[in-house]
Amino acid sequence: MQPTSEQRNIEFEIILKDTNLSLQVDTSLIEQVLINIILNAIEALKDTIQPKVILLAEESENNKVLIKIADNGIGIPSEQMDKIFIPFFTSRKNGTGIGLSLCKQIMTMHKGVIRVQSTEGKGTIFTLQFN
């Protein structure tokens, strides 16, 4: 994704304070999850003046590994928040609506959860929680 993000001047910040964090996952599936979420973030940043994506990994207070992907893009209207994980829901002309439903399935296979927080016009944070 580096060529796309460089071409669009998207700043990527990776925050990893605890370098001992580890996870047992199917790396190719979790890679797909991250790719889907980051591609959505890049889409959401189309009209943002200083576009930025933050990738963060940390351990929660109850000892669960969290991966967060944040963007300062268009955000998600509150009335769409409960629809975005439904297969084929898309707000885009050329969208398929498959990405996030697949992410949810892959997280369920890992006994994990995917959550979203978003503010319209400000940005979106996706959290992957591994149990």
Ligand X SMILES: Nc1ncnc2c1ncn2[C@@H]1O[C@H](COP(=O)(O)OP(=O)(O)O)[C@@H](O)[C@H]1O
Q: Does 107 bind ligand X (CB under 6 A)?
A: no
Tell me how far apart the alpha carbons of residues 26 and 110 are, in angstroms, rounded to a whole number: 8
Query: Which of 73, 99, 112, 123 lies at the binding interface for Mg ion (CB under 5 A)?
Result: 99
Binding string, 43-82, against ligand X, x = CB under 6 A? Answer: -x--------------------------x-xxxx------
Closest CA to 109 of 82, 130, 79, 86: 130
H-state helical runs in 54-112: 99-109
- Please report how close the Cβ of residue 103 comes to ligand X at its closest, in angstroms: 8
Q: Which stretch binds ligand X (CB under 6 A): 6-14, 58-66, 87-95, 104-112?
A: 87-95
Tell me how far apart the alpha carbons of residues 98 and 61 are, in angstroms, rounded to a whole number: 32
Burial label for 53, CB within 10 Å (0-12, 13-18, 19+), is buried
CB nearest ligand X: which residue? 99
Q: Which does 9 bind (CB under 5 to 8 A by kind): ligand X, Mg ion, none?
A: none
Closest CA to 74 of 119, 10, 17, 130: 119
Binding stretches for Mg ion (CB under 5 A): 40, 99
Binding stretches for ligand X (CB under 6 A): 36, 40-41, 44, 71, 73-76, 84, 89-92, 95-101, 124
